[in-house]
Amino acid sequence: MGVLNVTPDSFSDGGKFLKVEAARLQAQCIVEAGADWLDLGGESTGPGSVEVSLEEELQRVLPVLACIREDHPELTVSIDTWKAEVARRCLSMGAKVINDVTALRRDPAMVEVVAEAGVPVVLMHAKEADGRTTRAVQHYDDVISTVKAFFEERVLWATQHGIQEEQIILDPGLGFFISAEARYSFEIVRRLPELKALGFPLLLGPSRKSFLAGVSPGRALSTEERLIPGVALSAIAAWLGVDILRTHDVQAGRLLLDTVQALRG
């Protein structure tokens, strides 16, 4: 899954693709690099980000989605949003997946939109119910038990409101979504088989996240320097059974998945 953020404040690529033509060219690069699908987002949830209005998010996303659908009609496009109206409008234009960082907790109308459309939906674990990340240090007695309990509750709620289990993809959330303390993100990756046992496809997005900054003793890695740690972590995650990798570095992601597949034989 290649990431395309049409936002001014995303932590990795904020401001680079605000203009429609720039976003269109980046979408072409993502496709050429080997992405199976593209995740399009119009609102950042990173630390310090500002919530945007419905109108602003639609103005950012819809023109870019129209271009992507025109240029790449067979490409699967997911929409990274918690707003039901954004999801509804994008689905009507050909988007195929909804990626909701609030796991259907923020907008009461989202579950109905997803249920009626019958499309896949990503339910992500986040320590904050609004899906917005903060630099707060959240402590866990057992982080996997917490994430599993969260998923079990959200899956039950979703299926009670018309979503089929076959539609559901789970994302355990990493980085500030889980805690400002990096060890919890690494523990989630180590224990991915326990989440895989829930029986749903797993999505993981370690790409360029801040918890990778401290892997080298004595220095903090810049966003760009986190490429290799992110690829290494993604390869391990793929080996452990993650189904979908969400990444800003699509060519590296494609090659690592091909390598893991070759290793499996």
pLDDT tens per residue, range 228-258: 999 999 999 999 999 999 999 999 999 999 9
Mean pLDDT of 150-165: 98
Task: Considering the candidates 83, 89, 209, 226, report the single residue annotated as catalytic.
Answer: 209
What residues have CB less than 8 Å from 213, skipping those under 6 apart? 220, 221, 222, 226
pLDDT computed for residue 124 by the predictor: 96
pLDDT computed for residue 76 by the predictor: 99
16 is catalytic: no
Task: Considering the candidates 60, 132, 154, 246, report the single residue annotated as catalytic.
Answer: 246
pLDDT computed for residue 61 by the predictor: 98
Tens of pLDDT along 175-184? 888 998 999 9
Please report, as a single letter, which amino acid is at residue 103. A
**Residue 136 vs residue 165, higher pLDDT:** 165
209 is catalytic: yes
pLDDT computed for residue 9 by the predictor: 58
Confidence of residue 134 (pLDDT cuts 50, 70, 90): low
Domain ranges of the chain: 2-264
Q: What does residue 98 show for φ and ψ, rounded to 5 degrees? A: -110, 130
Residue 79 reports pLDDT greater than 60: yes
92-101, 127-136, 196-205: segment of lowest average pLDDT:
127-136
State the average pLDDT for the chain. 94
Contact 97, 119 (CB under 8 A): yes
pLDDT computed for residue 46 by the predictor: 76
Which residue, 10, 90, 5, 100, is CA-closest to 50? 10
pLDDT computed for residue 200 by the predictor: 99
Positive or negative: CA dihedral 155, 253, 240, 186: negative
**Residue 137 vs residue 211, higher pLDDT:** 211
Q: State which fold the 2-264 domain adopts.
A: TIM Barrel (3.20.20)
14-23, 107-116, 119-128, 210-219: segment of lowest average pLDDT:
14-23
Confidence of residue 59 (pLDDT cuts 50, 70, 90): very high
Contact 157, 104 (CB under 8 A): yes
pLDDT computed for residue 33 by the predictor: 98
